[in-house]
Structure 1
Amino acid sequence: MLYRLLKYVLLGPLLKLLWPTKVTGADNVPDRGGVILASNHLAVADSFFMPLRVKRRVTFPAKQEYFTEKGVKGTLKKWFFTGAGQIPIDRSGGSAAQAALDTAIRLLREGNVLGIYPEGTRSPDGRLYKGKTGIARIALEAGVPVVPVAMVGTDEVNPIGSKMWYPRRLEIRFGRPLDFSRYEGLSGDRFVERSITDEIMYALMELSGQEYVDIYAARAKELQAADAAGVRAVVPAQSGLADADRVPETKAG
């Protein structure tokens, strides 16, 4: 009820009025059954605009901190994110990472629409970064298709470092569903999961027109921060096998 109130009565109409959006390929989202919407991630605003253009309810894994803040502000945040269809995810690693995967898989097996950002965090500069293999593991375990979604212009609505939202025209492009049933039974194979993830990122690159960078966005942010501080960055090697590479990507980060 709260989700419908926000989408159709309160927040949804306001966003549609202030931010006219061109939508293409919305019919590529199946009318029923579990499906992953794999989107590029330019701004916090992505998680508000994209679900408005999907007939079905879209659920995003979100930082657990959004639901645990104290006081009146924390209560309002919990109310809002719950009403917007978000679910809290503990990303602290180890068993928490597996619990996040299990939650995503369960939702999809129940026939829900799950929104995921394969890059794992917002792009630091508008380019498209290497995808984390968690999305491949989830798609294989749940046996669902993946629909690539390109958000265009949200980084101008909600620029990095700004709390303001500016009026701009947006575009959302839904690509054709990607079917990975040919890999059935191969969940856990790191080469298969990397191949699937790279196929998803290639589809996003073509759909969005973004330049692709073959490193993780989180690492790019660390390198940028180190450069700004005038120090040499020491960044641990990243592996497709790490828990951090498999945790479902969150609403904002």
Structure 2
Amino acid sequence: MAELVYRPVIGLARTMFKVWDLKIDCKGTENIPRSGGAVLVSNHISYLDFIFDGLAALPQKRLVRFMAKDSVFRHRISGPLMRGMKHIPVDRTQGEAAYAHALDSLRSGEIVGVFPEATISQSFTLKSFKSGAARLAQEAGVPLIPMALWGTQRLWTKGHPRNFRRSHTPITIRVGEAVEAPRDQYAGAITRRLRERVQELLDAAQRAYPVRPKGAEDSWWMPAHLGGSAPTPEQLRTAEAL
């Protein structure tokens, strides 16, 4: 079936990357299968993460169908684009429909993109993973492909103004080897193994990142355990409880 929306959007994204002169360092794309279903699992630190996750699949000539909250599909601009690219809306009060939609996509040989943290991590560290990605992979009989992004939060993230005027921003992407999801294993155990692998990839991406904060005012995008001023997970939990 012709991709009348997805491919033009890819072309637009690539043009914008050139305009912004982003320095994209992407490794491990060979781990994305050239054919067949798979669940692509990534950390979540920016509103733009799905674009860069999808970029990593292009060398293998794959398009990713991302699961995203349904409000994005109701927006007058993003809605038609998300539907045209055949992404999967998620109504958190009726998750069964989204799960069934994703399962059908996987069984038809598509790659489905999932952010198992569910929401953006404002600490820029990994939050706990929900088990939906593992259960999807188990039921569809497909592998989980872990990946990690770093640097996307500097462009646009929760709690900070978007900065599309920032040029030369490095973006680091790491894709890991498949994590199998046997049906006879507990989904929680697979989820823990998957999270550990994403953490390893995130650590590698952070080590490879060529930029460090220039001072206290520029350290907001660096997690506290690496010397930055981003709030810790504990601080965020305390704030949410108030």
Question: Could you say which TM-score interval applies, normalised by the shorter chain?
Answer: 0.7 to 0.9
Which amino acid letter does the alignment assign opposite residue 24 of structure 2?
T
Cα separation, 2, equivalents of 1:31 and 1:59 = 15
TM-score between the two structures when normalised by the length of structure 2: 0.78
Q: Which of the numbers 63, 67, 85 marks the counterpart of 1:61?
A: 67
Match of 2:6 among 3, 9, 23: 3
Name the structure 2 match of 1:176: 177
CA distance change for structure 1 residues 171 and 32 in 2, over 3 Å: closer, same or farther?
same
What is aligned with 1:236?
none
Residue number in structure 2 paired with 1:110: 108
Q: Which residue of structure 2 aligns with residue 119 of structure 1?
A: 117
Instruction: Quote the offset at 1:171 in angstroms.
Output: 0.6
The superposition leaves residues 65-86 of structure 1 with CA deviations (integer Å, 9 ceiling, x where unpaired) of: 2223xxxxx3322122224442
Please point out which of 180, 185, 192 is paired with 1:198: 192
CA pair 135-27 structure 1, distance change in 2 beyond 3 A: same
- Partners of 2:155 and 2:38 in 1: CA distance: 28
Q: Which has the higher contact order (CA 8 A, sep 6+)?
A: 1
Q: Distance in 2 between matches of 1:139 and 1:185?
A: 12
CA contact (8 A) 2:88 2:101 kept: no
- State the match for 2:240 in structure 1: 225
Structure 1 residue 7, shift from structure 2 partner: 0.5
User: Any idea what SS the aligned residue of 2:76 has?
Assistant: helix
Paired residues, number: 207
Give the 3-state SS of the residue equivalent to 2:173 in structure 1. Answer: strand
Q: Which runs of 5+ in 2 are unaligned?
A: 207-222, 224-231
Matched, 1:155 2:170: no
In the alignment, residue 100 of structure 1 is paired with which amino acid?
Answer: A
> Using the alignment, how far apart are the partners of 1:218 and 1:91 within structure 2?
23
Give the partner amino acid of 1:225.
E
Alignment correspondent of 1:129 = 127
Q: Is the 8 A contact 2:47 2:158 kept in 1?
A: no
* Contact 2:88–2:98 (CA under 8 A) maintained in structure 1: no
Contact preservation (8 Å) 1:124, 1:220: no
Output the TM-score relative to the length of structure 1: 0.75
Q: Which residue of 1 aligns with 2:80?
A: 79
* SS of aligned partner of 2:14: helix
Amino-acid identity (%): 31
Q: Distance in 2 between matches of 1:223 and 1:141?
A: 37
